[in-house]
């Protein structure tokens, strides 16, 4: 029975987790759709001068509309599920279900749709006079073919959910972001498409004047950052339209625009029996891009591309169009300069004859290739092109290979039948590659197919041989991409490197699709050169790369290990690919970088040409980590003050180690004078139990430490931020620890993001379950935060509790600027970092970080790789001010007992322009109101005016003559008209559920009931009291003694009778407010009232200060006080005044500036 209950409980838990994971997956998909929508709406600020160069967005015509949506959804679900081991099976189940149900239905729907469209187009062509579109006809039936193939293969979804759907995925972010082919990097920027050389010069001059930077793009096939601008306000200039190709057959020169592809040049040259000398392995790359990286090719005699260039036309750093020749220094810097020295407009390239060739291949062990090359290839005059294809079978990685030789058969040029390549590549090759992507175990079969296709002989020509089809690799999946890596070693290091590289690839399970060795001649250059001193061999890798952050990190590490090997063994790496090399590795492989940086300042004085590569490696800076031979542990533990700091850290901050035992353990290790910090760390790993608590107490202390941290930091955040509404929060470096505490203490609304190194099961201990945030973003080695992860100006608060000291300085500024980007104007960046004021303090911080790492089981290699750049708070403040932040006036907050001075400080995003200033004001939720409120407040204010009008009305006319029913009609008329106006600016539901609408309904309905009742009462009264009787009731009679001509003072005074002997006058005045104003006016005259309406007493109301001691004039007696509602500090004072003293009293009150509110008549 117990066992049954156990399994039922376990099953229920698994179902619950399954459902929660499914809901989270769907929630993330909806969130991503919102992000995509926001990205499409966010447009960089644009000067009018750039408007002519914007590109019109055209709908793609290669999309199968219905299938694309399902395929893209499957792709997104699989990508998200792969991030989390709990959600992985859930996502796979959902994706497989969709691939076996929804996908085939959509494929059939699209088949029917495009069959109908294609048939209609075909009918127009064949049977009517109307002109049909043949291209459209072919495209429709091309889609039909794709859909039918997809439908035939959909059962393979059982093996892999996206076996078929991967071929239909569409990445819509390409419309909003710049994303080079490798899919690793992307950015949002202002993209311009000039049509002429003068356009490019004009754009660059405008950019120079406005302080913008420019980056250049051809086919966007780069995999590094050389085609990515730094800031979203910078320019990316596309050279697509500069694609002209002109051939001079006599001189064998091709004049080629930078935007032309190698396929364009090949086609034009082939018409004259000519061919290019040097180009990249495939013809899908642009000329400008190839020149900027100075590519090499299969022609082992020709050298690099630079050797074939007769001249270049560029726009230089001053914005001038300039022609360069090989003897010019700038020529040498632009070619291979990765876009840092000028905008390449066109080039004159040397061509050669498209001669007939015979192809032969030789299989051999890879270790014998070097000898084969030196003996059979190097000096063979008949050999026109050559390279070596390495075996990529994972079981026999790089053990064997095939030498591919192209022998020249004649010297005459021929016109080649260059094989056509469809836009999406050859279908068979595309399907084969798709299978290999999802079934890596098929790689041995793929190699055997490659091997059998390579062995043998055949007749060909230069153009045909150099047409290597590559379009079949193009896919838009978010799950993976195809990457390239290329390394260069001298001949005497080749064999060892082949063995080393093969072992690295096998160890890291890298799914290599293609690997080759090519010979590169020495290339002396002022710029970046991969063969500056001697001839080199290039080893080129083409492999599939998962885009999951942990897999990217895995590749980063093996690539860095290969570069480390190359540094020791006289080699280098190719710059255009992923920016994985550390700054130190780059400096070691390209020591000429400093001279190139100086040349860049000379030729680009305005810093006009920049990109991600230059910003990270050439123009940036770096702070070196402390000397590894120096022992920070020894220095810290030998100093009493620093020892005390470490003890306080262990007692108050990191409470997971027994302070006394641990200090004694380190002292014991340091008795050996030969140990350095690396040795100390290794020994501490082995003996950590000697300085730790018991297992139970250690975990108890860890939970206590975590709880204290959450409480302290959330309290400090409340002090810094205050209790105000914050829309959007980003937590960097923690797994969501502070999300829940801050939700309770701050008024957090909107999306919550966590940016961290990865998601782990232990994160639920720190953040709670379910996860308290909406979206997880990978830290990705401090690369700038991507637009598709967090949109521009979308959050009010970013908190980075792990500090900036772990960020290499060449990445520091770009990362901080990406934080600045995501914050709304006026938004806050809260930083917690150590205030490292002295060298002693920095030594102690190094030690404490090592203690933390060893206490949390961080491996030694990670400890050694960890970057630490401790600085004072003043230094961080200076950096942040440079990046557009302003320091808040609140002093730093430090946790009690934290000797590391880990200080919490707040910065605000500054407004630098009038537009940003306005945006900052508008970002305040208390400033911006709902636009429909201005229209929906009309009924409310109509009610105010109605009340005011009623008050005015009854000053002279009895209430029962008020038009109650007419005003009911007017009230509802105003309500209806205000509704109609509001509907012009908002939806029906937004207007209906607006708080203004609810208030208006309440007021209008309440007033309708009130006015209807009053109208019903007033009607019979108006019949009883006629106009004649009303007229009498509107006047009041007074006896007054005066010589003054009263009618001259106010024409409303009517003298009924006079007694000349005693100057007594019987006068008639209008009642109510008119009488009140007339009596105030008469208070300045010499007169005495005898009686009013036959009475000797009258009430007068004053407005006086509360508790005011007031001496009343003669004839005045206090009756009572009433609070003044509008002003609690004052009261209404009612007085009983003798009529004969009334005039004197009124004059006295006005003289003492005591407000008279009213004189009550009878």
Candidate from 424-433, 456-465, 621-630, 661-670 with smallest mean pLDDT: 621-630
Contacts of 954 (CB under 8 A, 6+ apart): 962
Burial of 971 per CB tally in 10 Å (0-12, 13-18, 19+): buried
pLDDT tens for 112-161 read 988 888 888 777 777 665 555 677 788 888 888 888 888 888 888 888 88
For residue 576, the SS3 value is coil
Query: Tell me, what DSSP letter sits at residue 304?
Result: B
The pTM score is: 0.74
In the block, residue with structure tokens 């699989």: 78
pLDDT tens for 996-1021 read 888 888 889 988 998 899 888 888 87
* pLDDT, mean of residues 589-597: 94
Greater pLDDT, 407 or 28: 407
Quick one: residue 89, left, alpha or beta (phi over 0 = left, psi -120 to 50 = alpha)? alpha
Please report, for residues 842, 849, 854, the alpha-carbon distance to residue 632 in angstroms, rounded to integers and kept in the order given. Answer: 9, 11, 15
* pLDDT over 50 (residue 623): no
pLDDT tens for 661-684 read 999 999 999 999 889 999 999 999
pLDDT tens for 805-862 read 999 988 999 999 999 999 998 899 999 999 998 888 899 999 999 999 999 889 988 8
Q: What are phi and psi of 1100, to 5 degrees?
A: -125, 135
Per-residue confidence (pLDDT) for residue 920, from 0 to 100: 66
Q: What percent of the chain has pLDDT over 90?
A: 52
Closest CA to 514 of 474, 483, 556: 483
Beta sheet of 235-238, edge-to-edge order:
190-192, 235-238, 214-217
Greater pLDDT, 258 or 673: 258
Per-residue confidence (pLDDT) for residue 192, from 0 to 100: 94
Distance CA 293, CA 344 (A): 12
> Domain ranges in the chain?
2-42+61-169, 236-618, 724-836+871-922, 933-1028, 1034-1159
Candidate from 155-169, 524-538, 801-815 with smallest mean pLDDT: 155-169
CATH classification (class only), 236-618 = alpha beta
* pLDDT, mean of residues 313-322: 95
Indicate the average pLDDT of the chain.
88
Confidence of residue 259 (pLDDT cuts 50, 70, 90): very high
* pLDDT, mean of residues 481-492: 96
Distance CA 682, CA 864 (A): 11
Closest CA to 731 of 795, 791, 792, 786: 795
Write down the H helix ranges in 772-872: 809-822, 839-855, 860-865
* pLDDT over 50 (residue 71): yes
Asked if domains 236-618 and 724-836+871-922 share a fold, the reply is: no
Distance CA 810, CA 620 (A): 5
Architecture category of domain 724-836+871-922 in CATH: 3-Layer(aba) Sandwich (3.40)
* pLDDT over 50 (residue 791): yes
* pLDDT over 80 (residue 493): yes
């Amino acid at each position: 029975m117990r066992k049954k209950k156990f399994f039922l409980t376990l099953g229920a838990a698994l179902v619950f987790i399954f459902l929660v994971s499914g809901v989270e997956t769907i929630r993330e998909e909806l969130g991503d759709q919102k992000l995509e929508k926001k990205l499409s709406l966010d447009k960089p600020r644009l000067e009018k001068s750039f408007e002519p160069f914007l590109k019109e967005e055209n709908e793609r015509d290669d999309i199968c509309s219905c299938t694309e949506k399902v395929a893209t959804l499957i792709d997104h679900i699989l990508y998200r599920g792969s991030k989390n081991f709990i959600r992985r099976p859930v996502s796979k189940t959902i994706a497989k279900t969709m691939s076996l149900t929804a996908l085939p239905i959509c494929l059939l729907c699209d088949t029917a749709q495009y069959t109908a469209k294609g048939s209609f187009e075909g009918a127009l062509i064949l049977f009517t006079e109307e002109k049909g579109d043949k291209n459209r006809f072919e495209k429709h039936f091309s889609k039909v073919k794709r859909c039918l193939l997809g439908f035939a293969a959909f059962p393979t979804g059982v093996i892999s959910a996206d076996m078929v759907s991967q071929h239909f995925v569409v990445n819509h972010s390409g419309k909003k972001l710049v994303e080079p082919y490798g899919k690793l990097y992307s950015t949002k920027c202002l993209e311009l498409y000039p049509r002429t050389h003068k356009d490019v010069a004009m754009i660059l001059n405008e950019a120079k004047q406005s302080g913008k930077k420019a980056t250049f793009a051809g086919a966007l096939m780069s995999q590094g950052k050389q085609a990515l601008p730094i800031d979203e306000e910078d320019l990316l200039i596309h050279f697509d339209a500069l694609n002209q190709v002109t051939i001079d057959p006599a001189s064998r020169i091709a004049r080629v625009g930078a935007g032309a592809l190698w396929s364009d040049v090949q086609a034009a040259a082939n018409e004259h029996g000519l061919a290019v000398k040097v180009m990249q392995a495939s013809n899908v790359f642009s000329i400008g891009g190839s020149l900027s990286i100075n590519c090499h090719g299969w022609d082992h005699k020709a050298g690099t591309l630079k050797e074939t260039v007769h001249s270049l036309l560029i726009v230089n750093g001053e914005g001038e169009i300039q022609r360069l020749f090989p003897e010019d220094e700038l020529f040498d810097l632009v070619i291979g300069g990765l876009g840092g020295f000028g905008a390449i407009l066109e080039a004159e390239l040397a061509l050669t004859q498209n001669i007939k060739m015979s192809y032969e291949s030789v299989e051999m062990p890879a270790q014998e290739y070097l000898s084969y090359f030196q003996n059979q290839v190097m000096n063979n005059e008949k050999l026109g092109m050559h390279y070596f294809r390495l075996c990529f079978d994972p079981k026999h990685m790089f053990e064997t290979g095939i030498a591919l030789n192209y022998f020249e058969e004649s010297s005459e040029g021929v016109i080649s039948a260059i094989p056509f390549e469809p836009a999406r590549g050859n279908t068979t090759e595309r399907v084969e590659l798709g299978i290999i992507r999802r079934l890596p175990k098929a790689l041995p079969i793929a190699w055997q197919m490659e091997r059998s296709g390579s062995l043998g002989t055949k007749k060909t020509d230069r153009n045909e041989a150099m047409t290597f089809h590559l379009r079949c690799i193009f896919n838009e999946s978010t799950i993976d991409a195809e990457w390239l890596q290329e390394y260069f070693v001298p001949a005497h290091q080749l064999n060892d490197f082949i063995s080393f590289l093969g072992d690295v690839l096998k160890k890291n399970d890298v799914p290599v699709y293609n690997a080759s060795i090519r010979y590169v001649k020495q290339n002396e250059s002022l710029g970046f050169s991969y063969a500056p001193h001697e001839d080199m061999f290039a080893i080129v890798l083409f492999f599939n790369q998962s885009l999951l952050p942990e897999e990217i990190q895995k590749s980063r590490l093996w690539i860095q290990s290969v570069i480390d090997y190359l540094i020791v063994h006289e080699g280098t790496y190719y710059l255009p690919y992923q920016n994985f090399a550390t700054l130190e590795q780059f400096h070691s492989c390209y020591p000429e970088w400093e001279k190139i940086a100086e040349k860049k300042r000379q030729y680009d004085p305005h810093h006009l040409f920049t990109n991600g590569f230059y910003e990270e490696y050439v123009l940036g800076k770096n702070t070196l980590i402390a000397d590894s031979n120096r022992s920070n542990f020894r220095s810290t533990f030998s100093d009493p003050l620093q020892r005390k700091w470490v003890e306080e850290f262990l007692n108050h901050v990191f409470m997971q180690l027994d302070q006394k035992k641990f200090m004694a353990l380190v002292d014991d290790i340091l008795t050996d004078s030969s140990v350095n910090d690396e040795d100390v760390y290794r020994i501490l790993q082995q003996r950590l139990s000697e300085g730790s608590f018991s297992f139970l107490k250690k975990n108890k202390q860890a939970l206590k430490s975590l709880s204290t941290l959450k409480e302290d930091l959330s309290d400090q955040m409340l002090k810094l931020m205050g209790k105000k509404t914050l829309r959007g929060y980003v937590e960097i470096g923690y797994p969501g620890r502070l999300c829940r505490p801050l939700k309770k203490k701050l008024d957090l609304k909107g999306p919550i993001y966590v940016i961290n190194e990865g998601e782990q099961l232990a994160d639920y201990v720190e953040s709670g379950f379910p996860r308290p945030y909406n979206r997880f973003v990978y830290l990705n080695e401090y690369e700038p935060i991507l637009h598709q992860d967090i949109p521009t100006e979308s959050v009010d608060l970013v908190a980075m509790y792990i500090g900036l000291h772990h960020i290499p300085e060449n990445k520091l500024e770009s990362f901080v600027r990406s934080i600045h980007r995501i914050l709304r104007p006026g938004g806050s960046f809260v930083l917690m970092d150590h205030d490292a004021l002295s060298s002693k303090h920095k030594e102690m911080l190094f030690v404490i970080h090592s203690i933390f790492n060893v206490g949390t089981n961080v491996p030694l290699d990670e400890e050694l790789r960890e970057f630490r750049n401790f600085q004072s708070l003043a230094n961080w403040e200076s950096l942040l001010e440079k990046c557009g932040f302003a320091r808040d006036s609140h002093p730093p907050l430090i946790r009690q007992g934290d000797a590391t001075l880990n200080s919490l400080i707040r910065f605000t995003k500054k407004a630098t322009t009038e537009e940003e200033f306005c945006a900052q004001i508008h970002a305040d939720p208390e400033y911006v109101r709902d636009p429909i409120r201005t229209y929906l407040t009309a009924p409310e204010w109509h009610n105010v005016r109605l009340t005011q009008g009623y008050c005015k009305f009854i000053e002279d006319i009895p209430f029962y003559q008020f038009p109650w029913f007419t005003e009911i009609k007017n009230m509802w008329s105003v309500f209806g008209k205000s509704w109609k106006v509001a509907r012009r600016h908002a939806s029906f539901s937004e207007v209906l559920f607006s708080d203004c609408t609810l208030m208006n309904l309440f007021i209008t309905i309440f007033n309708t009931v009130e006015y209807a009742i009053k109208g019903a009462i007033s009607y019979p009264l108006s019949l009883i009291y006629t106009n004649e009787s009303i007229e009498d009731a509107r006047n009041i009679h007074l006896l007054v003694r005066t010589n003054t001509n009263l009618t001259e003072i106010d024409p409303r005074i009517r003298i009924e009778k006079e007694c000349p002997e005693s100057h007594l006058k019987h006068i008639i005045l209008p009642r109510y407010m008119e009488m009140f104003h007339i009596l105030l006016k008469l208070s300045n005259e010499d007169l005495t009232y005898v009686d009013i309406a036959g009475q000797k007493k009258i009430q007068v109301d004053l407005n006086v200060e509360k508790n005011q001691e007031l001496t009343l004039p003669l004839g005045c007696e206090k009756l009572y006080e009433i609070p003044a509602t509008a002003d609690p500090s004052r009261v209404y004072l009612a007085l009983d005044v003798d009529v004969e003293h009334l005039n004197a009293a009124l004059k006295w009150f006005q003289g003492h500036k005591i407000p008279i509110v009213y004189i009550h008549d009878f």
